[in-house]
Structure 1
Amino acid sequence: MEVDNPSAGPSAPVRSLAASKNGRTAGKAHKESKSAARRSYLSRASKQGFEHRKELESKRQAMKGVEKEMKEEKEAEQERKRTAIKERRERQEEKQRLELVKAKMSAKKLQRMKKRQGRTKKING
């Protein structure tokens, strides 16, 4: 009579037990140590190092700052031109108003002078 011996026949491959990183922990000796995940599905830009990304971001921010400054200067120049035009128009309007007032006053003064001249004996005779 033959007895089946489990160790005598073909058997499943046996994994070696690795000690855990923090020493022996119950029930964890069969676990493999974890490693960083491979990010092959990510784009090349995402795989770049933090320092490199930080440098690129700082350059981008500097460029944005320069663009913003140029835009502000342009707007300030346009505002200065607008105010200059507005002031010039106001001065012209004031000048025209004063000329009209002056012409009106001159006409009245001329009328008064003619009236006075008419009162003298030399002119009336």
Structure 2
Amino acid sequence: VDLVKALAEIREQYEAVIERNLGYWLRSDEPARVSLPRVPLGRSLQLGSSCLCFQKEALEGTLAETQAGYGGELAQLRGRVARKEAELAQLRTDTQRQAEEHQQLLDLKTRLEMEIATYQRLLEGDDARSGIRSS
């Protein structure tokens, strides 16, 4: 049996298993705790480095997606706040206008009440003069 050839086949199988399970390891909430077969140190470090690179890329992708999602949500919230602020400004303007109209109406009412009182006094004076003339 050619040992070099056998080791090469084992390495290929090992790498195939790692590639198949890499997606699972990257989606896992906890770091993968897998007992790996012994391979030469250089190859082990290379595989570990590759796994970390894939993991880093996956996490960066997740981060980008999360930021994009929250960025969109933040933009929507800012839009809602801007609309509510515009509504509030319009309500303040309407309230101020209504307060001014109310004051104008109160002033008009006061003037009308004064005129009515003047006419009543004049009518009472005419009634009093009419009463004196009739007596």
Matched with 2:68 is: 67
Instruction: Identify which of 10, 25, 39 aligns with 1:35.
Output: 10
Normalising by the residue count of structure 2, what TM-score does the alignment of the two structures yield? 0.48
Matched with 1:110 is: 111
Distance 1:56 1:112 in 2: 83
Runs of 4 or more off by more than 4 Å in structure 1?
none
Gaps of 5+ in 2: 24-49, 127-135
Distance 1:89 1:77 in 2: 18
Report the structure number with the largest CA radius of gyration: 1
Give the Å deviation of 1:117.
3.0
Matched with 1:84 is: 85
Distance 1:54 1:103 in 2: 73
> When the two structures are aligned, how many residues end up with a matched partner?
90
Aligned AA (1:108): K
More helix by share: 2
**RMSD between aligned alpha carbons?**
3.9
Over the matched positions of the two proteins, sequence identity in percent amounts to: 8
Normalising by the residue count of structure 1, what TM-score does the alignment of the two structures yield? 0.51
Gaps of 5+ in 1: 1-15, 17-31
- RCO higher in structure (CA 8 A, sep ≥6): 2
